[in-house]
Amino acid sequence: MGNLSTLLQEPRRLGRTELRVSALGFGGAPLGGLYEPLEMAAAERAVALALELGIHFFDTSPYYGDGLSELRLGELLAGRRSKVVLQTKCGRYGRDEFDFSAARVRASCEMSLRRLRTDYVDILLAHDIEFGRREQILEETLPALIRLREEGKARAIGVSGYPLEVLAEVVESAEIDVVLSYCHFNLMISQLDERLLPLAQARQVGLLNASPLHMGVLTRLGPPVWHPAPKAVLAAGQRLLDLAESRGYDLPMLALRHCLDHGGIASTLIGMTRPEQVAANVAAASMAIVPEIRAEMDAIVDPVRNLTWEPEGQVARWRQNQD
């Protein structure tokens, strides 16, 4: 694993900013203990290997483990801060805890900086903005982020969320640098290309992609019981797994490579905590998807392609001006 993947040799510029991020990003959610107990020694080796192999973009949030992900990432990156592009978020702090007020944005940023052991982050995002109100996000949250950028506490600012229509409205209405979408571009869905990608490119906004494994659908373990996708999507995911294994492929690697091949996406984030995960993800960046396996996968996915699970009324609630 000593040679860098071709995809990781040249970092990609993030929109109109001066930031350049690795095509494969180190997702920090598992560092918060959200999925399994964390072994810090293994996580230390994972971070070291990631940097060695060309992954230098690291993502976290105070939501991941009630600040634990940030604390641990700050420890793991001690002495390495200058080597990485560091992204965190604000606005979401628990499953049902949201606060997008200007005062909380500032307080959250200060706390994140302390946990991360740094005096600035490269990217600061408002997290899952669809749970806020459009009026507040545009008139209070984003101006607060802009002030933090002006003060040098964040080099770039932006938003993250699930509904593409919500993200598109902010890209159209505000001067942001970065937008992070999840579960809208992977083997099973390509909706990102239809609305958000052309808009982000026209506005020179950096585009980040998360959940390349469709929140567990494209893994051997399978999706969690709470996964909101339609049953037909979950069944197609199992058929993809069976196909990949019958052809001698690892489905998560195929899924990750599919995302990394998208030239309009600056970076795709995937969670990592162990060196073997880092090695596998980097190997995915070097593999080739032969036309035959891609055609077979498309045949499975096409009947359910772009089936989403957006909660009814979510976008309408976002547009309401009242609490």
DSSP-derived secondary structure letter, 139: I
pLDDT attached to residue 313: 73
User: Tens digits of per-residue pLDDT, 281-319?
Assistant: 999 998 989 999 999 999 999 999 999 987 667 888 888
Strand pairing category for 267-271 and 206-210: parallel
Catalytic residue from among 63, 64, 162, 249: 64
102 and 144 in contact (C-beta within 8 Å)? yes
pLDDT attached to residue 273: 96
CA atoms within 13 A on the CB side of 83: 14
Nearest to 1 by CA among 281, 291, 309, 238: 281
**Structure-derived torsion over alpha carbons of residues 122, 127, 129, 130, reported in degrees to the nearest 10:** 140
Say whether 249 is catalytic.
no
| Percent above pLDDT 70 for the chain | 97
pLDDT attached to residue 23: 96
Q: What is the mean pLDDT of residues 111-125?
A: 98
| Percent above pLDDT 90 for the chain | 89
Q: What is the mean pLDDT of residues 14-20?
A: 98
φ/ψ (deg, to 5) at 71: -60, -50
Q: Report d(CA 221, CA 217) in Å as an integer.
A: 8
Q: pTM here?
A: 0.96
Q: What is the mean pLDDT of residues 192-211?
A: 97
pLDDT attached to residue 2: 41
If you classify domain 6-215+252-289 with CATH, what class do you get? alpha beta
Residue reference for tokens 């997702």: 27
pLDDT at 102 over 50: yes
Nearest to 93 by CA among 117, 76, 118, 115: 115
Average pLDDT, the chain: 94
Residue spans per domain, the chain:
6-215+252-289
